[in-house]
Structure 1
């Protein structure tokens, strides 16, 4: 059976199917979507009938996406994403010229830059957005129009792959800093705190703390570090700070420390032997022209120095 030519499909059903796949359950998805389970189940069956193939196999333990359903889900996600992009166009090009919309990797420095900038240039009737996220989410957020400016650190050899991932909405990557130093962050009472520098080999036998978006471990391989004995993954900068302050773990920071430089409880030691060059990039939509406020903010940030991030 084939989909009839000219038949229209409600994209809300695409969103519902995406949520069902995410939950692995029609009843859980129905609860998240604030609809009844029988209603959602009937809508999905109607969608499958109109498509001419099954999206889900159902069982007592939940649902599983069929082979045909996997292809449908790939296309549905693209359609939903592109619709969001269309809706976000005004937010990118017609936003409040006095506001700032920023996404960056977890960084106390860029946050402090923002706060100091706003103390000098108050936004009385504007609404700023400041979001700390993983590099991938920072890039996708700028690409999807959720944010107008992004700051990330990335290994220089990964930049081509990063550019390719933005082809559906091209972004511009401006190099803010090259050869960014990498630091080990730890309690001042840690045995390694007395060293002038630390090798990657020494760190491979030391418990590390890192953000949960780095769980795949590729960052260690790219740096040239053997798999460490122990890694604790945390979700935010506050958690990382607590762990290194009161525990035996060591954090890895790119640029400058991810903590307040006046924190007397922590020490920073340069890491030697990093194989790949790390750069800091400013990201914006292609052909996007900065507002006067954004121009002033970027001038302020570059004057103040590097934006810090923790790995």
Structure 2
């Protein structure tokens, strides 16, 4: 099997098109197409469905992808071992939840890039379930996800982010010594709903006091929730990591509610059990030093 053909296949997937893969490989698009066609003939199956400029993997292509990526990694590592003085571009495929992608990973990658300028990074954002599946399918090298367990996954706690009530500048709660549940229930609230998070604790907070929260906005994006609060449309419970800059600038204020003090969002770093290449191990080490 020609490794150049396998490389072209992986690059088309990673970069989303034949054109982009050709640019990265310094080839013409017809050359990339020819390599894919040769690979399809050798495997005796169709790897891509093509509709105009859009390409998607066939079922056979999806099955072949993790093996192709593994072949490419093994080839690159073997080449590096045989030619230690040759500068070889390496890459790390990273999966992140939206909150990690928005508020955490850029700091980690900037430090990693300073130490390894020849390494490229591919970031995929998704839900914890999506990232776990891609990791198990060997489409990712490491993931930053919610607290999870799996027999084939090594999962280590990365950080715990407290969930607190935040209000906008000028809100009357800021000057109150104690804010009651009844007072909160009378305010318009934004609620960030995500199945992977235990937001039931916030619901229980109201249920125990027999007050129904006045939820006017249900959203699935933390940035949307934060912007609604900043525009004084509502108040809301958010993880602290998402509002660090706004709190420091005095645009948002944390309101202490003792009853929800233990509510937090936990993020873990996950890798395949027993498989942690040196570069991935170093990335994890840099990430852990951040907290």
1:89, 1:149 → 2: CA distance? 17
TM-score using structure 1 length: 0.53
Q: Which residue is equivalent to 1:295? A: 281
Cα 1:271–1:148 change in 2 (3 A) is farther
Cα displacement (A) at 1:299? 2.0
Q: CA deviation at 1:302?
A: 1.7
Find out whether 1:171 has 2:153 as its counterpart: yes
Residues matched between the structures, number: 214
Matched, 1:187 2:168: yes
Residue of structure 2 equivalent to 1:87: 65
2:92 aligned with 1:99: yes
5+ residue gaps in structure 1? 1-31, 36-79, 306-311
TM-score with structure 2 length normalisation? 0.56
Q: Which residue of 2 aligns with 1:220?
A: 199
Alignment of 1:17-36 (within 5 A): 34=51
Conserved? CA contact 1:106–1:237, under 8 Å: yes
Sort the Cα spacing of 1:181 and 1:298 in 2 relative to 1 into closer, same or farther, 3 A.
Answer: same
Specify the alignment match of 2:259 in structure 1. 273
Structure 2 distance, partners of 1:98, 1:196, is 52
What is the aligned partner in structure 2 of residue 147 from structure 1?
A: 140
Distance across 2 between alignment mates of 1:258 and 1:93:
42
Between structures 1 and 2, the one with greater helix share: 2
Deviations 1:160-208 (A, max 9, x none): xxx3xx56xx322212346x52222332223334457867776555433
Structure 2 unpaired stretches of 5+: 1-48, 53-58, 74-88, 207-211
- Counterparts in 2 of 1:264 and 1:114: CA distance versus 1, 3 Å: same
Q: Secondary structure at 2:99's aligned position in 1? A: coil
Tell me if 1:242 matches 2:227.
Answer: yes
Cα deviations across residues 260-290 of structure 1 (Å, max 9, x unaligned)?
3644322233443246675332112222213
Query: For 1:256 and 1:97, how far apart are their aligned partners in 2?
Result: 31
